[in-house]
Structure 1
Amino acid sequence: MFTGIIETLGKVTRIETEQQNINFYVESSISDQLKIDQSVSHNGVCLTVVAIQAQTHKVTAIQETLAKSNLGLLKVGDLINLERCTVAGGRLDGHIVQGHVDQTATCVAIEDQNGSWLFTFEYQKNLQDNVTVEKGSVTVNGISLTVVNSQDSRFSVAIIPYTIEYTNLQSVKVGDTINIEFDIIGKYVAKILDARA
């Protein structure tokens, strides 16, 4: 389990294709502290560390992961949000994040609000339990954020300067693809209501 509080940024240094899988080599300030078989969130996707060398670790994304996330769009030099799993008994500063990306979304607008930014994302409403609620939680590229302006297939999030500086939202532009994980509690509620209907 994760919280959506990004620990550090990593940089993709190498990408290898192996059959239908893709191996990513990520350089970061925490790579040398990781362990083989450890779960780490990469842009909100829970991936297993399979190799470590100095300040670089290697993870593998399989076809299912590549189909549901933006990892297949990564290029060498891209920044990636990293978070290690939550320690039992630790603070839950964000919200409950599983690291299971539901789908991707497209950034359709970025509004400078003179000290903060309003990012708007649009997604394909293809599943009934993929919902956002006003002032509820959503995970964008692994970042726990609060929803504003929740609509049927789009939502906005207000971003403070700290988040811009310490996450890869600093490089997101209109037209870019991001990963979203909808709030697990909201998904369960939607599923229950749908079953009763």
Structure 2
Amino acid sequence: MFTGIVTDLGTVREVQPIGGGNDMRLIIGTSPAFLARPEPAVIGASIACSGCCLTAVELGGDWFAVDASAETLSKTTLGRLRPGSRINLERSLRMGDELGGHLVSGHVDGVAEALSAEPENGSVRWRFRLPPGLARFVAAKGSIAIDGCSLTVNEVGEPGALDEAVFGVNIIPHTAAVTTFGTLQPGGAVNIEIDMLARYVARLAASGGAAPPEAPTHRDRTP
């Protein structure tokens, strides 16, 4: 589990085809401090890479390697990464850590398109178009993870239209400086993870809101 608070901006150093060219190994450069805190990373550790929960398979002083399967590449933006690409990084959450964003699983639900970026007072209003099937999970003032960043949805629906697949978030200068929002351009693709609470509420509604079966009770028997 993660919180959606990006703690380092890594750089892809190498992209290595594996698994007959269907899978991919990424060598990602990062800071030694990222791998050292809050305790040293180990082989098998989970690291969120632009919102995708991946397993560290190799470690160096300032780099780590992860493998992405063909399934992951087909459902995320990882297959578009090239040497030099920047990538948002977050170590996994530990019990007792501060939950600064919202609970994020690192399981990407789909890829959205960045539509526009417009200055709005001291921040920038970014608008995105969701892939089919995800619009019903996104609500104004709800939470969403974009490339692993925990953000608040500030609007739903395209201005002047009824496109519910469009939503907007505001990015402050600090967020732009420490994440890939600083280099994102309209037309770019981003990984989306919907709020897990919305996922389960939708599932419950689809099932008719049936209550779980009552647990058996123990009754005293008087002789």
Deviates more, 1:71-80 or 1:112-121: 112-121
Aligned residue for 2:183? 171
1:124, distance to aligned residue in structure 2 (A) = 1.8
Q: Aligned-pair distance for 1:4?
A: 0.1
Matched, 1:107 2:109: no
- Pair 1:74-2:76 in alignment: no
Say if 2:7 and 2:90, in contact at 8 Å, map to a contact too: yes
Partner secondary structure for residue 91 of structure 1: coil
Distance 1:195 1:67 in 2: 29
> In the alignment, is residue 12 of structure 1 matched against residue 48 of structure 2?
no
| Counterpart Cα distance in 1 of 2:97 and 2:66 | 25
Structure 1 residue runs of 4+, over 6 Å off? none
Residues of 2 paired with 1:127 and 1:79: CA distance? 26
1:155 alignment partner in structure 2: 167
**Match for residue 131 of structure 1 among 132, 137, 141:** 137
Measured on the aligned residues, the alpha-carbon RMSD in Å equals 1.4
* Amino acid corresponding to residue 204 of structure 2 in structure 1: I
Question: When you count strand as a share of all residues, which structure comes out higher?
Answer: 1
TM-score, normalised to structure 2, is 0.85
Q: Return the alpha-carbon distance in structure 2 between the equivalents of residues 2 and 160 of structure 1.
A: 21
Paired residue total: 196
The structure number with the bigger radius of gyration is 2
Could you tell me the TM-score, scaled by structure 1's length? 0.95
Aligned-pair identity (%): 36
**More moved, 97-106 vs 61-70:** 61-70
